[in-house]
Structure 1
Amino acid sequence: MTAPTEAGAPSTDPDQRRREQRGWYVYDWANSVFITSVVTVLIGPYLSNLACVSAGAESAEACLDPSLALTPLGLDFLALHPNALYPALTTVAILLQILLLPTVGAMVDHSRYKKRWLFWLALSGSLCTAGLYFTTDGYLVASLLFVLANLLYGLSIVVYNAFLPEIATADERDRVSVTGWGIGYLGGALLLAVHLGLVVNADALGVGTDGAARIAFASVGIWWAGFTVMAIRPLRNRYGALAARVRGRPRVGESLRQFGHTLKDMRRYPNTVLFLLAFIFFNDGVQAAIRYAAPFATQDLGLEEEALIITILIIQFVAFGGAFLAGRVARRLGSKNTVMATLVVWGALVAAAYFLPAGNVPLFITMGVGIGLVLGGTQSLARSLYSQLIPKGREAEYFSLFQISDKGSTFLGSLTVTVAVSLTGGYRVAILSLLAFFVVGGLLLWRTRMREGIVAVGNEVPRNL
């Protein structure tokens, strides 16, 4: 590990900044495979299958029996249907992140060794993911490893994002954030293509569907850990005023008190708060649209799994190019205007989804292309804009709030979709209802005075805002 240097400003040496930026990109390449392959595609069916077998169901059709129930650790009050295990575990992981992100963010800002935090969080998460390879005897160990891996992934992202203001100047921030996001999509797409090939040919290879999934989990863990080692080497440890006051290791109690002060202090930065509110709403729409595209496709549009697999891959590859396209547009229109433009496209996409005819694969794939074009731009430029609104030396704390907003907004979207599906029996109205999140988020972003907010926290105002 490199010796820490005081203070969070980027290096004045362009070559040094580029070296650190390349390392930072590699961590996006390293961790994105966890979300793409494990969370989005493989872990849900794998856990459901383990849970169904444990509940006594002999097939997926038999597992639809509403009388089936799991009683984890023999506790009746935890009883749930086997098919509800995956969403329940996802909810637990999100709640744990919301509880722990502020503590970890504050402790990282009190530490002089940010690289060490990133390394151990990523390594622990990758080991939990690789450990899923050995989960053949029941669902409990697999459930625990998935929750831990999900939690550690979220914590590592807070530390990773906190490096952004330290490795890029105000004018470089959009380019660096967009590049990292785009490279992450490319890495996730490449390994996902291998995994999908493995799953589709599982029987021919003699490993079975669950065996193929376990091999994929192991490869994700190895990929995540290996590229993390490469990522952290060029990065440098820097610390701000909070860490300068701490002798020895940061203490949990002191870090929590500091986080409380931060929440009170945020009242001095109304534009930072307004941006976070805007992000909660429009990110809510983005996450819900992605999360519920699969059941919408299978239940309302009657599409086969092969069409979904093809569309997921297309979205990943298009999102790689879309992130860079958004960066180029931002250099002309400004970052804030570009994000608002992507929200208009998102609104048009969810409105058009309502009218999609059942069984039309080309139109569904076309919609996937549209999602890929705006997906990376919305998320990467939002991260860049937020990084401009953070006081120096408190990056991890403020990015923990950003991550909490990301996770917390998942609840709002899921609740809206749940209510809409309950009332209508399908996902068409549910997807259409997401239009409100893009409208409200766009209006709040429009009301955010970025220049005023950047000056208020003491940062340099970029040329293309």
Structure 2
Amino acid sequence: MIRRGANPEQRSWFFYDWANSAYITTVATVLYAPYLTSVAERAACGFVGDEDRKCTESLSVLGISVSAGSLVFYVVTIATVISAFVLPVVGAIADRVQSRRTLMARLAWIGAGVTALMFFVTGSNWQLGAALLVVANLFYASSIVVYDAILIDVAEPNDRDRISSQGWAFGYLGGGTLLGLNLVLVTVTPFGLSTEMAVRISLVSAAVWWAYFTVVAHRGLKDHPPRGIAPAEGVTLMQRSFGQLFRTLRELRNYPQTLIFLGAYLIYNDGIQTVIYSSSVYGEKELGFGTSTLIATILIVQFVAFAGALVFGRVAARIGAHRTIGGGLVVWIVVVCAAFVLPEQQIVPFLTLAVAIGLVLGGTQALSRSFYSQLIPRGREAEYFSLYQACERGTSWLGTLVFGIVHQTTHSYRPAILALIAFFVIGGALLWRLDARQGVVEAGNEVPTVI
């Protein structure tokens, strides 16, 4: 189904979504956040908190008191602040290199190597765990900047919604496949393994998966020489890249519709990413579900999202990506309200909510990527995608910051999850203001038949 109508290079492009989704599902979404939280709780309280005995002590981070339960959200926030400075430079470099596919692969392989080191996060060593999460997120996001820019090389304007949706669906299928294998490992714990060791092995499996399938993508993609690059001062590649970056930031005001979309995406995607990051912690610490139940639930989300991304792609072909994304944000508001009132240890409502998240998750993200590609001036793809990626999945900061602060203030994850409604409401309001057709024309691109 996914490969219908896709050429060999597009199918190779899909494989990087298949590769990196292992990091997002197994590491970022399901296992590492609650695992690092447990390590932090052990350091702060001497035990791992649960529904009967919650850890309310704090850690001292550079002299600042930080709730052990909020640590992982602050770590993601720090990673994103760093990304705000690094990713635009990565994008500017990617617009000028002769081989984007090689740059993407090298960033991915380093990120996979850092992820493999998470195996050594044990006991109460939350400092190592936090540092590795920052670095892994940074290299993951950097590779995605280049990957998203390659979409413009492999797909024409009228095909981008379809190709982007198929790639995202393929990624959910890949991430779900590995997550299913890890579910068996964590649940069965063969060979006398402890649950903690099973989790650590699962983290390594995600690193190996990410690295190996990046090789597949790298071999199948082609080198597309830079086209239409804006002139920039400087002798070295780094100097020219910084020059291009500063020029783009100055000229962004000339593309008001692109700027509006970036603002809308910054806000509503922060909400989406915070839901993703907080889902496993919320399920374990607030609703009282075990690790195996959480993995099974996220697995359901992955495979439902596979279908959801394809369905959203077909809807966008009829009514346009702009309207389809807006409808998806309405569904997200309903999801957050439902999560707030979800009863503890009631599996049926929890799974129902998971299905709803899966249906809307892949579609809104895939169409946001393809829609944004229509608003980018030619020759500036990677650099503009670097601005986009500063608020993309795994690099949210405002949402995780709000979530962490609300939890630290109330000692409950329920008001923290409810606070995320504001991100979808504000982001949707900005998206409503955007004139999609005008934005494509302003960027100097061909207007698709349906936008």
Measured after TM superposition, the shift of residue 51 of structure 1 is 4.9
Structure 1 residues 79 and 433: CA distance shift in structure 2, 3 A: closer
Q: State the match for 2:213 in structure 1.
A: 227
Q: Indicate conservation of the 8 Å contact 2:157/2:446, yes or no.
A: yes
For the residues of structure 2 that align with 1:421 and 1:436, how far apart are their CA atoms?
16
Structure 1 residues 249 and 22: CA distance shift in structure 2, 3 A: farther
For the residues of structure 2 that align with 1:60 and 1:349, how far apart are their CA atoms?
27
Unaligned ranges ≥5, structure 1: 1-13
Q: State the match for 1:184 in structure 2.
A: 171
For the residues of structure 2 that align with 1:297 and 1:146, how far apart are their CA atoms?
21
Q: State the match for 1:161 in structure 2.
A: 148
Choose from 1, 5, 29 the match for 2:18: 29
Structure 1 residues 91 and 419: CA distance shift in structure 2, 3 A: closer
Q: What percentage of aligned pairs have identical amino acids?
A: 43
The question of 1:145 aligning with 2:167 is answered no
Choose from 329, 337, 340 the match for 2:315: 329
Q: State which structure, 1 or 2, has the greater radius of gyration over its C-alpha atoms.
A: 1
Question: Which shifted more, 204-213 or 76-85?
Answer: 76-85
The count of residues paired between Structure 1 and Structure 2 equals 445
Cα-Cα RMSD? 3.1
Q: State the match for 1:41 in structure 2.
A: 30
Choose from 311, 335, 341 the match for 2:327: 341
Structure 1 residues 111 and 299: CA distance shift in structure 2, 3 A: closer
Choose from 121, 128, 133 the match for 2:119: 133
Question: Which shifted more, 424-433 or 362-371?
Answer: 424-433
The one-letter amino acid paired with 1:130 is A
The one-letter amino acid paired with 1:289 is V
TM-score normalised by length of structure 1: 0.86
Equivalent residue runs for 1:236-385 within 5 Å = 236-238=222-224, 239-242=226-229, 250-251=237-238, 253-298=239-284, 301-385=287-371
TM-score normalised by length of structure 2: 0.88
Q: Aligned to 1:293, what secondary structure does the other structure show? A: helix
Measured after TM superposition, the shift of residue 372 of structure 1 is 0.5
Q: State the match for 2:9 in structure 1.
A: 20
Q: State the match for 1:464 in structure 2.
A: 450
For the residues of structure 2 that align with 1:410 and 1:336, how far apart are their CA atoms?
22
Q: Aligned to 1:391, what secondary structure does the other structure show? A: coil
Give deviations 1:72-130, integer Å, cap 9, x for gaps. Answer: xxxx6377565555334323322221220011111111222212211210111111222
Choose from 393, 401, 425 the match for 1:439: 425
Q: State the match for 1:116 in structure 2.
A: 102
Structure 1 residues 324 and 349: CA distance shift in structure 2, 3 A: same
Question: Which shifted more, 123-132 or 404-413?
Answer: 404-413
Question: Which shifted more, 434-443 or 397-406?
Answer: 434-443
For the residues of structure 2 that align with 1:357 and 1:303, how far apart are their CA atoms?
11
Give deviations 1:213-270, integer Å, cap 9, x for gaps. Answer: 232222222211111111022222221233888998612x332222111011111110
For the residues of structure 1 that align with 2:95 and 2:371, how far apart are their CA atoms?
20
Q: State the match for 2:186 in structure 1.
A: 199
For the residues of structure 1 that align with 2:389 and 2:122, how far apart are their CA atoms?
33
